[in-house]
C-alpha cells in the first residue's frame, strides 16, 4: 500500500512538472496525464503507454528548445552586443532543457520503481507456487 502511494505521488509530480513547464513556456499543449491504472506495472515489463507519450513529449519539447536557441543564436549575430545576446539565449535554453531533464529523471525513477515492483511480484508469485 505504501509503494502504491509513493508511485501515485511520483505520477502526480510528473504531471505537475509538465503543467509547470507548459505554464512557464506559455505553451498551450495539454500535459499528458497518467491514467488511474498507471500505478500498476505491466506484467511483461513494457512501459505504460502514458510513459511512452511523456517521453515523446519531452523529446519534442527538447527539440523545440534547441530550434529556438538556434534561431536566437542566428539573431544574436545581427546585433551589436553579440556576446551578451548569446549568453541570454544560452541561459534561456538551459532553463528549458534543465526542466525537461528533471521531468525525464522523475519518469526514469518511476519506470524503475514500476519494473522493480513487477519483478518483486513475480518473485513472490514464484515462491508461493
pLDDT in tens, 76-90: 999 999 999 999 999
Mean pLDDT value of segment 64-77: 97
Which residue would you say has higher pLDDT here, 109 or 17?
109
Residue 100 in any domain: the answer is yes
Q: pLDDT band at residue 127, thresholds of 50, 70 and 90? A: very high
Residue 42 in any domain: the answer is no
Residue 43 in any domain: the answer is no
- Contacts of 85 by beta carbon, 8 Å cutoff, 6+ apart: 72, 75, 76, 79
Residue 62 in any domain: the answer is yes
Residue 67 in any domain: the answer is yes
Residue 111, pLDDT score: 93
Neighbouring C-beta atoms of residue 106, cutoff 10 Å: 18
Residue 89 in any domain: the answer is yes
Take residue 102 and report the three cell numbers written for it: 528533471
Q: Is the per-residue pLDDT at 121 higher than 80?
A: yes
The reported pTM is 0.64
Q: What is the mean pLDDT of the chain?
A: 80
Residue 104 in any domain: the answer is yes
Which residue would you say has higher pLDDT here, 63 or 46?
63
Mean pLDDT value of segment 2-7: 52
Domain range enclosing 111:
2-20+48-128
As a whole number of angstroms, the distance between CA 97 and CA 86 comes to 16
Which residue would you say has higher pLDDT here, 28 or 109?
109
The structural domain count of the chain equals 1
Amino acid at each position: 500500500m505504501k509503494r502504491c502511494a509513493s508511485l501515485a505521488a511520483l505520477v502526480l509530480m510528473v504531471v505537475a512538472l509538465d503543467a509547470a513547464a507548459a505554464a512557464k513556456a506559455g505553451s498551450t499543449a495539454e500535459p499528458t496525464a497518467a491514467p488511474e491504472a498507471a500505478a500498476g506495472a505491466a506484467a511483461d515489463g513494457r512501459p505504460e503507454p502514458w510513459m511512452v507519450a511523456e517521453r515523446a513529449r519531452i523529446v519534442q519539447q527538447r527539440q523545440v528548445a534547441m530550434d529556438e536557441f538556434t534561431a536566437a543564436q542566428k539573431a544574436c549575430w545581427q546585433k551589436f552586443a553579440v556576446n551578451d545576446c548569446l549568453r541570454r539565449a544560452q541561459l534561456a535554453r538551459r532553463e528549458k532543457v534543465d526542466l525537461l531533464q528533471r521531468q525525464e529523471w522523475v519518469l526514469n525513477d518511476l519506470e524503475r520503481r514500476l519494473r522493480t515492483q513487477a519483478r518483486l511480484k513475480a518473485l513472490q508469485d514464484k515462491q508461493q507456487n
